[in-house]
Amino acid sequence: MKKLWGGRFTKSAEQWVDEFGASISFDQELVEEDIQGSLAHVTMLGKCGILLEDEVETIKQGLHVLLEKAKKQELAYTAAYEDIHLNLEKMLIDEIGPVGGKLHTGRSRNDQVATDMHLYLRKHVQEIITLINELQDAIIKQAEVNVETIVPGYTHLQRAQPISFAHHLLAYYWMLERDKERFTESLKRINISPLGAGALAGTTFPIDRHYTAGLLGFEGIYENSIDAVSDRDFIVEFLSNSSMTMMHLSRLCEELILWSSQEFGFVEIDDRFATGSSIMPQKKNPDMAELIRGKTGRVYGNLFGLLTVLKGTPLAYNKDMQEDKEGMFDTAQTLTGSLKIFSGMINTLTVNSEAMSKATKQDFSNATELADYLASKGLPFRDAHEIVGKLVLQCIEKGIFLLDLPLEDYQEASHLFGEDIYKVLDPYNAINRRNIAGGTGFSEIKKVLVNIKNKNK
């Protein structure tokens, strides 16, 4: 088959070599972006007097026919035409005749493919921002009904201090808020146009890059044509931002998996997001949470893959860069899917507040309260710590908890202890007394909830 670039060749590659070099099996994902870019380009060629108006009209009509076919998945791609750009150009020529060959005037596949990727990421990043927002809404909803749900807070996965379950959930709200900020900020670098940079050096045709940028909704153009076609930072940044979000989701996955185990019994994942075992009839596995935790690995892989592809590639375009696509598509799809699943999982999560609260009564997570109590009566905190540590040991030896220890034992340890320690030791009071900014105190959480609900609208 004659190549669109075949002029200077005397031999043709064997089919399997063509297939190895082709990207059409995956870059067909960019079909709509590619046509969108071509429509803007050809409109500009007309406006700048580079093509005649009727040529422009014919090309546009042809492109619209291809767009309709693409939407109906009626285009038949072939590896013989390597990639989405050449496949479409060939189809256009077949559709409207040799005038189709004028579309590529003043353009190269190098600026064309970069344009497609910018358009693709703009669309997906906007969707991701919306999905993060929806997940935050789900978190807020769960937090609202769980302000007074008391649960042990952990450090080192050892019970540390009692906290409100809402406070714990809201930590994820804030992680996602930073993620959203990062994605939003990245749009500044995604939403600029490489179109018109040509292969690397611009073009002799009197094109108008600002005009095509405007037609495509870009906020500006790359100021350097070499940078325009060599830059893949915006994709690396996307993969990095996505890795961070996946890492956040993965941490929550781990918690959901732990909490839904029989050992914890803190939450139940809805049947719609769990699966059974083919052999053990009693099983209900938190598959979706595990899978998202697992998929985090491949998103990191995509980030490292692209960084490694780019390392050491000289300016400007190199074929290596064709390897930038699959990881990007895969990441967009993985992150989008994970966020959707997560919203569903959080919205339908059953919280076992009784089990949570029971746990706080069967541990020593109220020990800090006692140390603070002594310190507030003037004892140096370090000494208070020592005394309470000994009391904890005493309880462990007796097989009881701090609330069960008689007052005499407390007073023997320190005369500063009074009857009121039992109130102080109560996990509810322990939380209620932490109304400092950013703390787990109930009224503080309620205040935060009002603010973030307004913010997330």
Interacting residue ranges for ligand ARG, rule: CB under 6 A: 23, 27, 83, 85, 109-110, 113, 317, 319, 321-322
Q: Looking at beta carbons only, is 27 or 330 nearer to ligand ARG?
A: 27
Q: Looking at beta carbons only, is 27 or 137 nearer to ligand ARG?
A: 27
240 flagged as catalytic = no
**Distance between CA atoms of residues 118 and 222, nearest Å:** 12
* Min separation Cβ 57 and ligand ARG, Å: 27
* Min separation Cβ 116 and ligand ARG, Å: 9
Q: Looking at beta carbons only, is 12 or 184 nearer to ligand ARG?
A: 12
Q: Looking at beta carbons only, is 231 or 255 nearer to ligand ARG?
A: 231
* Active-site pick, 156, 168, 338, 414: 156
**Distance between CA atoms of residues 210 and 314, nearest Å:** 27
Q: Looking at beta carbons only, is 21 or 97 nearer to ligand ARG?
A: 21
124 flagged as catalytic = no
* Min separation Cβ 23 and ligand ARG, Å: 4
205: exposed, middle or buried (Cβ count in 10 Å: 0-12, 13-18, 19+):
middle
* Active-site pick, 12, 25, 277, 376: 277
Q: Looking at beta carbons only, is 77 or 317 nearer to ligand ARG?
A: 317
* Min separation Cβ 28 and ligand ARG, Å: 11
**Distance between CA atoms of residues 113 and 26, nearest Å:** 13
Q: Known catalytic residues?
A: 156, 277
